[in-house]
Structure 1
Amino acid sequence: MKLAKLANRTLFVLSVVVTGSVAGAFVWALLFVMNLGISFVWDNVGGRFGIYFPLAACLVGGLVVGLFAKRFGPYPEDLDAVMAKVKRDGRYDYDKLGVMSIAALLPLFFGGSIGPEAGLTGAVAGICTWVGDRMKRFGADFQQLTSVGTMAALSAIFTAPLFGFAAPLYGDGKDGGEGGDGPKGAATITLPKNSKIVVYFCAIAGALAAFMGLGALFGGGMSLPRFTDIHVGTAELAWLLPLAFVGAAAGWLFCVFDGLFERAAGKMGDRPVAKALIAGLVLAVLGILLPFTMFAGEVQAEQLGEVWTSMGALALLATGFAKVMITPLCIRFGWRGGHFFPVIFAGVSIGYGMAALTGADPVFCLCACTAALVGAVMRQPLMAVLLLFLCFPVKGVVVMFLAAALGAAIPLPKALRKDKGGNGGGQAEGAAPDAGQGAEG
């Protein structure tokens, strides 16, 4: 009996490593296809046209996205809804895996101001559920592969192990269960908390190894620039509160815009093509006036770091605040996706603008503004800081935590206040701080 239990544990841990590797490889593959599609549309085709190409591309994109949604439904689901289902049911439906993957990529091909994390996480959760269903005869706890794979996917997408590790544990309690009940007579693997930590570590290691290994061999991937040199002096500390308030104001506006666009989308009813075309038109106009407002923001953040000193404070601030408006518009009007990468870019742009205005250390300004903005959107300061470790130095952790806490403390209008849930993923994708809210009303 002990030998059989040991064999099951060993098989489970090996399955976890393989699951993490599959999650990382799948995330890399979809991001690789995303980069190919963006390059084809905007470099090969767009390079032959003038500055007004975004108008044609975004309108065509709106038509394609709208028709696809009309035919197949509102996919992908937002990250928060995916994680809520995984936490509640221990599984995620995989019958629409192809549809989810295509729906996640289409808005990104046409310059949508959204991140890929929502669609990628849902697709990975579906794959892991499929694997778990076929291995559950070895023990009911093999169904935990869905939760493990979802966490591994988050780690790979953001290349932020701490965020991916904390997300499924956040709010873990009686509903989280360590071992799962399983059917009578099933050979279950009871995982105490220490073993669960080891399992998550194995999944993260597998995911990051596959993701980074494939990226090193074939290119691709997705990551924000890494800021390392930060100076925290008397002048910087004097500007901390003003910088954090500016970032928090942008995060507050994100939530307000999200609520307004949710209501507007609801009043328009079931008109996916019309809504997607409206979003495409607004995106195109902003893209012509402020080009950095388009796309997820990871490449644009790197480009901005090279040219921000020549742009002027007003243009940088306008870009950041326009980003917090266009992202919820895209998500609510059918260009479905995540909001993490866009809001981080918005914070970076606003931070550069404040650095140009104040003369304070640029990385300090980026840390304060971005953390306050992300904290105001997520309403969970610790999760915001863990996420921001992917681009900001550990030396700025105190600055980031204080700014994120201030952002989370700024009250929202009463109509936007909703009960938090323990979904682990932070704020809903493009939603006010409701843990189970979908991406489009």
Structure 2
Amino acid sequence: MDRVRAANTAAFAVSSVVTGVAVGAFVWALLFVIDLGISSIWDRVPVYLGEFYPLIMCTVGGAVIGFFVKRCGPYPESLQTVLGKVKADGRYGYDKIGRMSVGAALPLIFGGSVGPEAGLTGAVAALSTWAGDRLRRFGRGFGQLSRVGTYAALSAIFTAPLYGLAGAVDGDGECDPYASKWVRWAIYAAAVGGAFGAFLLLTRMFGGGLSLPRYTDISFGKEELIWAVPLILVGAVAGWLFHIFDAVFSRISELAGDRPVAKAVTAGVILGLCGMALPFVMFSGEVQADELNATWAALSAAVLVATGFVKIAATALCVNMGWRGGHFFPTVFAGISIGYGMASVLGIDPVFCVCAVTAAVVGGVVRRPLMAVLLLFLCFPLHSVVLLAAATFVGSKVPLPGSVKGAGQETSE
């Protein structure tokens, strides 16, 4: 019996690592295709329409997305729904994986203010479930490949292995008959590491991937500490507003009824108009954050702050009106933009402002401080942990109105 348990544990470990590597490669491949689509539409196509190009392309994108939803259904599902199904059922349906992948790509290619995490996670959860079903004859523990693959995907998407591992461990139950808790956790760590490593290797070799900026030099001088609380409160308000906008646009979507084309086109027109006035409002935000780092000093404080708050609203508009996707990357960008705007006004260290505001925004959206801090180590150094923890905690504790559901919690559940 012990030999059987050991063999099964070893087989599950190997399957988990292979699944992790495959997940990392799949995430990279889909992001690479999305990058090619964005480049084709926004960089390589001759732009004869000048300043109206964002409006026209977003309107066209809205029509394409609307007809896709009408024909294929509302894909991808939200990250909250995907993770909820994986936790509750131990699996995620894979019969519509093609639709999930296309649905994930379209809003990103046409400039939607949404992140890729929802669609990518759904597709990976489906693939992992398929693999688990093929291997289930070796034991029921192989069904857990769905969860292992899902959180390995999150580690690759966010390039945050600690976040993926924390999610896998948090969802770990006592359903694995093969190994102790510590052995299972080690297997999860290997799977997450495989996904993370495969993703980084392919990104280094062929480009693509996601590239949120990395800040290393941050000042904690007297003036910065004096302004810490006001900066955190500004970010907390932005995070709170995301939920308000989300509730408002959700209600508008309900009132519009089953009209996917009209809703998606309306969102496209509004997004295009916003993009004409404030170009950084469009897209998911990771590439735009690098551009903003290089140009923020040339922009006015009003433009920077307005860009951040309008992006919060645009993300809520998109996810509720058919341009389905995640909201982590757009809200991080919103925090960065508002932070730079506050630095212009206050004249203090810009990285400190960006760190305080962004952490409060993400904490307000995610509503789980620990997971928010793990995600924000993507951008900020370890020695900013106290500021990150304080800001995410304050942002997460701002009370929401009773009628408003914390939609942002999907990032961490």
TM bin (shorter chain):
over 0.9
Listed one character per residue, the Cα deviations across residues 138-160 of structure 1 (whole Å, up to 9, x for unaligned) are: 11100000000001000000101
Deviates most, 1-10 or 124-133:
1-10
Q: Superposition pairs for residues 314-393 of structure 1, below 5 Å?
A: 314-393=302-381
Deviates most, 40-49 or 359-368:
40-49
CA distance in 2 between partners of 1:241 and 1:11 (Å): 52
Deviates most, 88-97 or 355-364:
355-364
Listed one character per residue, the Cα deviations across residues 238-277 of structure 1 (whole Å, up to 9, x for unaligned) are: 0010000100111111100000000110011000000000
Listed one character per residue, the Cα deviations across residues 14-37 of structure 1 (whole Å, up to 9, x for unaligned) are: 111100001100000000000000
Aligned to 1:283: 271
Listed one character per residue, the Cα deviations across residues 344-399 of structure 1 (whole Å, up to 9, x for unaligned) are: 00000000001111111111111100010111111111111111000111111100
Aligned to 1:439: none
Aligned to 2:207: 219
Q: Per the alignment, in what secondary structure is the counterpart of residue 410 of structure 2? A: coil
Q: Does 1:178 align with 2:174?
A: yes
Deviates most, 238-247 or 216-225:
216-225
Verify the 8 A CA contact 2:243 2:405 in the aligned structure 1. Answer: no
Verify the 8 A CA contact 2:211 2:286 in the aligned structure 1. Answer: yes
Q: Please report how far the alpha carbon of residue 48 of structure 1 lies from its aligned counterpart in structure 2 after TM superposition.
A: 4.3
CA distance in 2 between partners of 1:85 and 1:130 (Å): 15
Q: Superposition pairs for residues 90-169 of structure 1, below 5 Å?
A: 90-169=90-169
Deviates most, 332-341 or 217-226:
217-226
Amino acid at match of 1:108: L
CA distance in 1 between partners of 2:300 and 2:8 (Å): 61
Amino acid at match of 1:224: L
Listed one character per residue, the Cα deviations across residues 173-211 of structure 1 (whole Å, up to 9, x for unaligned) are: xxx42334xxxxxxx42x322112201110111101111
Aligned to 2:410: 428
Verify the 8 A CA contact 1:152 1:164 in the aligned structure 2. Answer: yes
Q: Please report how far the alpha carbon of residue 163 of structure 1 lies from its aligned counterpart in structure 2 after TM superposition.
A: 1.2
Q: Per the alignment, in what secondary structure is the counterpart of residue 211 of structure 2? A: coil
Structure 2 gap ranges (5+) = none
Amino acid at match of 1:50: G
CA distance in 2 between partners of 1:192 and 1:257 (Å): 45
Structure 1 gap ranges (5+) = 181-187, 421-425, 436-441
Q: Per the alignment, in what secondary structure is the counterpart of residue 178 of structure 1? A: coil
Identity, in percent, stands at: 56
Amino acid at match of 1:212: L
Amino acid at match of 2:174: E
Verify the 8 A CA contact 1:178 1:196 in the aligned structure 2. Answer: no
Amino acid at match of 2:409: Q
The Cα RMSD (Å) is 1.4
Aligned to 2:291: 303
Q: Please report how far the alpha carbon of residue 314 of structure 1 lies from its aligned counterpart in structure 2 after TM superposition.
A: 0.6
Verify the 8 A CA contact 2:247 2:405 in the aligned structure 1. Answer: no
Q: Please report how far the alpha carbon of residue 427 of structure 1 lies from its aligned counterpart in structure 2 after TM superposition.
A: 1.0
Verify the 8 A CA contact 1:158 1:223 in the aligned structure 2. Answer: no
Aligned to 1:229: 217
Q: Please report how far the alpha carbon of residue 167 of structure 1 lies from its aligned counterpart in structure 2 after TM superposition.
A: 2.0
Aligned to 2:77: 77
Q: Please report how far the alpha carbon of residue 45 of structure 1 lies from its aligned counterpart in structure 2 after TM superposition.
A: 1.4
Verify the 8 A CA contact 2:169 2:185 in the aligned structure 1. Answer: no
Q: Please report how far the alpha carbon of residue 46 of structure 1 lies from its aligned counterpart in structure 2 after TM superposition.
A: 5.1
Verify the 8 A CA contact 1:351 1:368 in the aligned structure 2. Answer: yes
Amino acid at match of 1:320: G
Verify the 8 A CA contact 2:24 2:195 in the aligned structure 1. Answer: yes
Amino acid at match of 1:178: E
Deviates most, 353-362 or 57-66:
353-362
Q: Please report how far the alpha carbon of residue 101 of structure 1 lies from its aligned counterpart in structure 2 after TM superposition.
A: 0.1
Which residue, out of 250, 253, 262, partners 2:238? 250
CA distance in 2 between partners of 1:207 and 1:132 (Å): 17
Verify the 8 A CA contact 2:114 2:325 in the aligned structure 1. Answer: yes
Listed one character per residue, the Cα deviations across residues 96-121 of structure 1 (whole Å, up to 9, x for unaligned) are: 00000000000111000000000000
Verify the 8 A CA contact 1:104 1:119 in the aligned structure 2. Answer: yes
CA distance in 1 between partners of 2:388 and 2:234 (Å): 14
Give TM-score, length-normalised by structure 1.
0.91
Amino acid at match of 1:127: L
Aligned to 1:183: none
Q: Please report how far the alpha carbon of residue 128 of structure 1 lies from its aligned counterpart in structure 2 after TM superposition.
A: 0.3
Aligned to 2:24: 24
Deviates most, 193-202 or 349-358:
193-202
Q: Superposition pairs for residues 397-416 of structure 1, below 5 Å?
A: 397-416=385-404
Q: Does 1:268 align with 2:256?
A: yes
Q: 1:156 to 1:51 in 2, by over 3 A?
A: same
Verify the 8 A CA contact 2:114 2:283 in the aligned structure 1. Answer: yes
Q: Please report how far the alpha carbon of residue 47 of structure 1 lies from its aligned counterpart in structure 2 after TM superposition.
A: 3.7
Amino acid at match of 2:87: K
Q: Per the alignment, in what secondary structure is the counterpart of residue 415 of structure 1? A: coil
Amino acid at match of 2:228: L
Q: Please report how far the alpha carbon of residue 51 of structure 1 lies from its aligned counterpart in structure 2 after TM superposition.
A: 1.8
- What is the aligned residue count? 413
Deviates most, 49-58 or 97-106:
49-58
Q: Per the alignment, in what secondary structure is the counterpart of residue 74 of structure 2? A: coil
Q: Please report how far the alpha carbon of residue 9 of structure 1 lies from its aligned counterpart in structure 2 after TM superposition.
A: 1.3
CA distance in 2 between partners of 1:226 and 1:263 (Å): 37
